[in-house]
Amino acid sequence: MLHVSMIGCGAIGVGVMELLKSDPEVVFDLVIVPAAALDTAGATVRELAPHARVGVGLNGSRPDLLIECAGHRAIEEHIIPALESGIPCMVVSVGALSEPGLAEKLELAAQRGKTQVQLLSGAIGAIDALAAARIGGLDSVVYTGRKPPGAWKDTPAEKLVDLDHLEQAAVIFEGSAREAARLYPKNANVAATLSLAGLGLDRTQVRLLADPAVTENVHHVEAAGAFGGLELTMRGKPLAANPKTSALTVYSVVRALNNRAHALSI
């Protein structure tokens, strides 16, 4: 039986608890939320994980695993201290690691605590193949992200194109994954995950498009190296509870927990 503490009770956290509420091998003991959200989160957690308590931090408890489903700030506030105290962790908000030095802080904290932090694949696939290809030698990784124009509202794309009247696909960014994460932080998770598995943030190339012809988030990855070549296209459906979140992100968390809790993993 795997005893889990989770940071966050938003769309991802709730989706994970819903999918695992009937799994006897995964037990949620604690859900960490900001103080202002204690009452709201408490009602949700009582329904989905009745044995779990809701709090603002670990407060000395030592779960088998701490998983972040809350956003970038939770990594500094909760994950790094937990790693330093020897608690294994999983991170969903991989885009946060595009911040200079944060990936190194995570690794150092895990080394100090003699434990491990796992970065989850989230909305993208083929991470295992890309990481394996890196061992033999990668020459190039190019990620193209294509979303409906409305998905780029409140981003720098608004100054580049007329998102409300776009008639054909328009490139709103082309450059390194690090620069893409800086300009489009809410869309950084996929590019950052590919970068950390492959060539790094500065050598991974990113193209972002606003496309009125699509209704889904379309991820396309091309990689080449000593292993040969890889090409992947994924059309991600949004999570019903939060259209800005990919449903596959929730499923990737559940898969990771299943692999930790069950006798057979893949």
Asked whether residue 186 carries a pLDDT value surpassing 90, the answer given is no
Asked whether residue 71 carries a pLDDT value surpassing 90, the answer given is no
Give the per-residue pLDDT at 164: 94
224 located within any domain: yes
Give the per-residue pLDDT at 175: 96
- Percent of the chain scoring above 90 in pLDDT: 89
**CB burial class (10 A; 0-12, 13-18, 19+) of residue 148?**
middle
Bridge partners, residue 26, by sequence? 2
Q: What is the pLDDT of residues 197-213, one digit of tens each?
A: 999 999 999 999 999 99
Q: Which of 63, 84, 119 is the last residue of a domain?
A: 119
Give the per-residue pLDDT at 206: 97
For 59, left (φ over 0), alpha (ψ -120 to 50), or beta?
Answer: left
CATH number at residue 108: 3.40.50.720
The 89-91 sheet, strands edge to edge: 53-55, 26-32, 2-7, 65-68, 89-91, 117-119
Bridge partners, residue 229, by sequence? 224
CATH number at residue 219: 3.30.360.10
Asked if 201 contacts 100 with a C-beta cutoff of 8 angstroms, the reply is no
What distance in Å separates the CA atoms of residue 130 and residue 80, rounded to the nearest whole number? 26
Q: Which of 91, 119, 147 is the last residue of a domain?
A: 119
Q: Which of 55, 84, 119 is the last residue of a domain?
A: 119
Do 13 and 112 sit in the same domain of this protein? yes
What distance in Å separates the CA atoms of residue 253 and residue 133, rounded to the nearest whole number? 24
Long-range contacts of 128-134 (CB under 8 A, 24+ apart): 129/230, 130/194, 130/197, 130/198, 130/221, 130/223, 130/230, 131/197, 131/198, 132/227, 133/198, 133/223, 133/225, 133/226, 133/227, 133/230, 134/197, 134/198, 134/199, 134/225
Give the per-residue pLDDT at 190: 93
Q: What is the CA radius of gyration of the chain?
A: 19
- Helix (H, G, I), strand (E, B), or coil: what is residue 91? strand
248 located within any domain: no
What is the rounded average pLDDT of the residues 42-58?
94
Asked whether residue 93 carries a pLDDT value surpassing 90, the answer given is yes
Do 131 and 231 sit in the same domain of this protein? yes
Active site residues: 219
Bridge partners, residue 5, by sequence? 30, 66
79 located within any domain: yes
* Of 151, 189, 192, 190, nearest in space to 172 by CA: 151
* Of 95, 84, 111, 121, nearest in space to 232 by CA: 121
Do 133 and 223 sit in the same domain of this protein? yes
Give the per-residue pLDDT at 246: 85
Give the per-residue pLDDT at 213: 95
Q: What is the pLDDT of residues 225-263, one digit of tens each?
A: 999 999 999 998 878 777 667 899 999 999 999 999 999
247 located within any domain: no
What is the rounded average pLDDT of the residues 50-63?
95
Total domains present in the chain: 2
* Of 19, 255, 15, 240, nearest in space to 127 by CA: 255
259 located within any domain: no
Domain housing 174:
127-239
Q: Which positions make up the binding site? A: 123, 189
76 located within any domain: yes
Do 115 and 132 sit in the same domain of this protein? no
**pLDDT category, 159, cuts 50, 70, 90?**
very high
Give the per-residue pLDDT at 237: 86
What is the rounded average pLDDT of the residues 54-79?
95
**pLDDT category, 106, cuts 50, 70, 90?**
very high
Do 70 and 42 sit in the same domain of this protein? yes
Q: Which positions make up the binding site for NAD(+)? A: 123, 189
Question: What mean pLDDT is reported for the chain?
Answer: 94
Do 107 and 145 sit in the same domain of this protein? no
- Helix (H, G, I), strand (E, B), or coil: what is residue 186? helix
Do 158 and 92 sit in the same domain of this protein? no
The DSSP element (H or E) to which 66 belongs, if any, is strand 65-68
